[in-house]
Amino acid sequence: MENYPVPAQALVAEMSAAAAREPHRAVAFQGAPGCNSHISVCEAFPDALPLPCFSFEDALDAVKEGRADCALIPIENSLHGRVADMHFLLPESGLAITGEHFMRIRYNLMGLPGGTIREAMSHPQALGQCRNWLRSRGIEPASYPDTAGAAARVAEIGDPAIAAIAPPMAAKLYGLDTLAENLEDSDDNTTRFVVLARVAPPLTGEGRFMTTMIFEVNNVPAALYKAMGGFATNGINMTKLESYQRGASFAATEFYCDVEGHPGDAPLARALEELRFHTKWVRVLGTYPQARPRV
């Protein structure tokens, strides 16, 4: 609680107490009340009790410890790429991806009246999504752990020269004036969230599915080319492939991958079998219904 600015602490305490009374209805998110993740919980789970958590690790721990039924975590943004290092956090958590949610992102500049804004505080993702707007006005970006938390901090500081970039809800929650609207550098600014739970429910019925996995290729020439061949020959659409390094050797590359399909379907089953043959290991992180068609 002490990590949140004072204006946010009462709201955090109130929401946490409500979630503690009914943990089966609680959905954990990272950030202060009023952040994009809070809004996404309200969109994706209208009957849920949003549970604010200061960090991504705190949100995952809330699910692991049974204080929340699931968590909703941002994973990628259309303007600024990767949001959370889920390829590190998720495997260690032992949680499964059970769903996804897409949300249109809008940012406003908010602060106290009567000053010339010289600095804008926000999450690095938000600052990156609004960088052209900030640069064109000569406003210095200042990093903060989350967007709504930055708004609460601005209210706490009380300096009219310092503003926050946050969703419109944050201005109402923390008593700030809206100084400018729609700061994002693209009208289609969208963030993809994933739902994380302790146990993946059985998937029944027909529909389009996504499967997310991580794997490590063998340290030989053309390793990735060979590993990907099974997806091509079996007609599997790969919508995301990101490389990352674990440890300091820089010798073995791991990959985070999203593909269309269910591992129980023959084409994806064959592709995964071939992937396992050409890699050191493969770990499926979850299979879940598509929230949006990949076209």
Active site residues: 191, 193
Nearest CA-CA partner of 43 in 190, 208, 210: 190
Q: Name the token pair of 274.
A: 């071939």
Q: Name the token pair of 193.
A: 């969230």
Q: Name the token pair of 172.
A: 């109402």
Nearest CA-CA partner of 255 in 221, 229, 223: 223
Query: Helices in the chain by DSSP H: which ranges?
Result: 6-21, 36-44, 56-64, 86-93, 124-129, 131-136, 147-157, 168-174, 223-233, 266-277
| Strand partners of residue 163 | 120
Query: What count of other Cβ atoms lies within 10 Å of the Cβ of residue 180?
Result: 18
Q: Is 254 exposed, middle or buried (0-12, 13-18, 19+ CB in 10 A)?
A: buried
Count of residues for the chain? 295
Q: How far apart are CA 104 and CA 245, in angstroms?
A: 31
CA distances (Å), 194 to each of 17, 41, 50, 76, 129, in order? 25, 11, 15, 9, 20
